[in-house]
Amino acid sequence: MAIKKEIDQSVIDGFKATLRGDLLTPGDPGYDDSRTIWNAMIDRKPALIARCLGVADVVACVNFARDNELLLSIKGGGHNISGLAVCDGGLMIDMSLMRGVWVDHKTNTVHAQAGCLLGDVDRETQLYGKAAVLGFVSNTGIAGLTLGGGFGYLTRRFGWTTDNLVSIEMITADGHIVQASEKENPDLFWGLRGGGGNFGVVTKFEYKLHPVGPEIVGGVIAWKGEDAADVLELYRTLSEQAPPELTCVVLLRPAPPAPWLPKEIHGKPIAALLVCYSGTIEEGEKLVAPIKAFGSPVGDIIQRRPYIALQNLLDGTQPKGRRYYWKSEYFSGHDPLMLKKFEEHGSYIKSPHSAIILFQLDGALNKIPDDHSPVGNRNTKTVLNITASWESPEDDQENIEWARSAWQDMRQFSTGGTYLNFLTEEEVGNRLQDAWGKNYDRLVEIKTKWDPENFFRMNKNIPPR
């Protein structure tokens, strides 16, 4: 693969010599592993991949790409559905070797390098019985998740991931290291709390910690698909009545071949609830008892368990290398007709790996003003995610069509907002304003100040003025 703009080999060799990490070109061992991401629908080939080992490598990459007019992309955990972490023909910064984590128990924060996966951070913070507000799947990257907003089992108590950010270290387009926090560069800090990767390469995040674990009550429980309407009603009641310590996610899908589900159920429709109670064990056991006693479950592994085990529970369900296509909307409540349509579209799923999911969100994030950070959407009570997942390119059309038609029918219940991190590649051009709402204009100002040439454009891009 040729570099888009011809660069002399000696210049590339000189660049390579300045790096501590490897510089890979097509054909090198590790090149394909690095450029392929979670979503196999994305197949781009950077001319160069820098596997950075430290901040100095990142600075060298930014300077090299800028001076040689190369397109630059940044890969954190490689889990974004739109695949913008990987560019064609340019330089890709692969952050996956920068996974240091330091807990500071005096300030009650954790510092994490931007290549970390969620599990890296949880592993270290749980030594102290603490947790940062991160997502539901431990092999997702913290960088993309955080820069786009971030939510998980602790969001009802503490808000978006970005509501819990304390500071960020970032490399600007001119190769300088800057710190951003409420006190230092507060405009940039505001923009980074949900504005995506628009302003620079983040090298480190600092998050507030909360006492959580090391054990919680949580897990998953499933009923037959024919019980879906009752399970959705249970979810609605829990969403309206549960304390913020209890978070539930409801999903409809064909049963995976998991050991906790009987063999005769595998491949048949199920309705499942994922549950986490992050307060005391005693209170948690009391609160989940009626869920466990509800109807006739076909499998139930809600129990006292390490918080880390809950965070790992879903890792195998959405492996790297399958084909994925998502559609998503925010809802401000649980309209009975919406739940009916949710059930209906769950019954049309085309692949054994697909699911239709509602993530419960209401709580702390609704109590913060909309302009606190760009992620906004403070009227959201639940997120719909229609997750088509399949294996063969021949099945692209029917799976994509299923997701699109379910979304077409259900978007009538939307707040009009959508989650930046769930946008597919085709939506990047037309739904960014929905994701950021009224906060978009302020993001344009910040982009114009920090990246006036739009050097960082391989992202959910905000063109500078």
Of 71-79, 213-221, 224-232, 428-436: span binding ligand FAD (CB under 6 A): 71-79
Nearer to ligand FAD, 201 or 272 (CB): 201
Among 15, 42, 70, 80, binds ligand FAD (CB under 6 A): 80
Residue 161, exposed/middle/buried by CB under 10 A (0-12, 13-18, 19+)? buried
SS (H, E, C) 69-82: CCCEEEECCCCCCC
* Residue 27: HSE in the Cβ half-sphere, 13 Å Cα cutoff: 2
Among 90, 152, 191, 194, binds ligand FAD (CB under 6 A): 152
Nearer to ligand FAD, 71 or 298 (CB): 71
Return the bridge partners of 414, or none: 331
Return the bridge partners of 388, or none: 325
Closest CA to 310 of 43, 118, 107: 118
Binding mask 177-206 for ligand FAD (x = CB under 6 A): -------------------xx---xx----
Closest CA to 110 of 146, 82, 69: 146
CA distance 11 to 64: 9
Return the bridge partners of 326, or none: 387
CA distance 211 to 230: 34
- Is there binding between residue 421 and ligand FAD (CB under 6 A)? yes
Among 109, 459, 462, 464, binds ligand FAD (CB under 6 A): 459
- Is there binding between residue 375 and ligand FAD (CB under 6 A)? no
- Is there binding between residue 46 and ligand FAD (CB under 6 A)? no
Among 144, 213, 346, 374, binds ligand FAD (CB under 6 A): 144
- Is there binding between residue 150 and ligand FAD (CB under 6 A)? yes
- Under rule CB under 6 A, which residues in 87-126 are in contact with ligand FAD? 95, 114
Of 21-29, 77-85, 181-189, 225-233: span binding ligand FAD (CB under 6 A): 77-85
Alpha-carbon distance values, 222 to 38, 301, 386 (Å): 26, 9, 19
Say which DSSP state 9 is in: H
Closest CA to 121 of 152, 86, 158, 75: 152
Among 147, 273, 361, 365, binds ligand FAD (CB under 6 A): 147
Q: Which residues contact 233 (CB under 8 A, 6 or more apart)?
A: 339
- Is there binding between residue 148 and ligand FAD (CB under 6 A)? yes
Total residues in contact with ligand FAD, by rule CB under 6 A: 33
- Is there binding between residue 175 and ligand FAD (CB under 6 A)? no
- Is there binding between residue 358 and ligand FAD (CB under 6 A)? no
Residue 214, preceding bond cis, omega within 30 degrees?
yes
- Is there binding between residue 76 and ligand FAD (CB under 6 A)? yes
Binding stretches for ligand FAD (CB under 6 A): 38, 74-81, 84-85, 95, 114, 135-137, 140-141, 143-145, 147-148, 150-152, 196-197, 201-202, 318, 421, 459
